[in-house]
């Protein structure tokens, strides 16, 4: 038995990009997070302490986005993943970060990190 929580469609504004001009202004990023919990039994107690609070995960992502400037989506993703893993006992995490309208022929570019 596996148990997951997810946050999909999280939108953050952050300064990111390889060229300096990209980091001069905040850009919108689209984030999906899937977290496999260490809990392997049914949720039968209705107790928030048996899972992760979505709001705490969202706050981590928003705080990192607000307080850091990165050149690469990969670096931002590693910071998010390592912070979540440091603060919570989880089995695994998959993080997808997408940046829109960067290349003329694509809607989105991005990274997927699985840890």
Tens digit of pLDDT for each residue in 22-69? Answer: 888 889 999 999 999 987 767 778 878 778 899 999 999 999 999 988
- The residue segments making up the domain with residue 110 are 4-114
The strand pair at 27-37 and 4-16 is best described as antiparallel
Q: How many domains does the chain have?
A: 1
Residue 4, beta-bridge partner list: 36
Which CATH number belongs to the domain containing residue 102 in this structure? 3.30.1130.10
Tens digit of pLDDT for each residue in 78-108? Answer: 999 999 999 999 999 999 999 988 888 999 9
Q: Considering only CA atoms, which of 96, 99, 66 is closest in space to residue 81?
A: 96
């Amino acid at each position: 038995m596996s148990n997951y929580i997810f946050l999909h469609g999280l939108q953050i504004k952050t300064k990111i990009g390889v060229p300096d001009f990209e980091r001069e202004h905040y850009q919108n990023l689209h984030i999906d997070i899937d977290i496999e919990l260490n809990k392997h039994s049914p949720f039968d107690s209705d107790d928030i302490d048996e899972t992760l609070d979505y709001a705490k995960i969202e706050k981590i992502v928003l705080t990192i986005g607000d307080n850091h400037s990165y050149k690469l989506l990969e670096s931002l993703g590693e910071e998010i993943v390592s912070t979540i893993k440091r603060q919570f006992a989880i089995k695994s995490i998959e993080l997808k970060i997408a940046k829109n309208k960067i290349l003329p022929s694509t809607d989105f570019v991005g990274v997927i990190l699985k840890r």
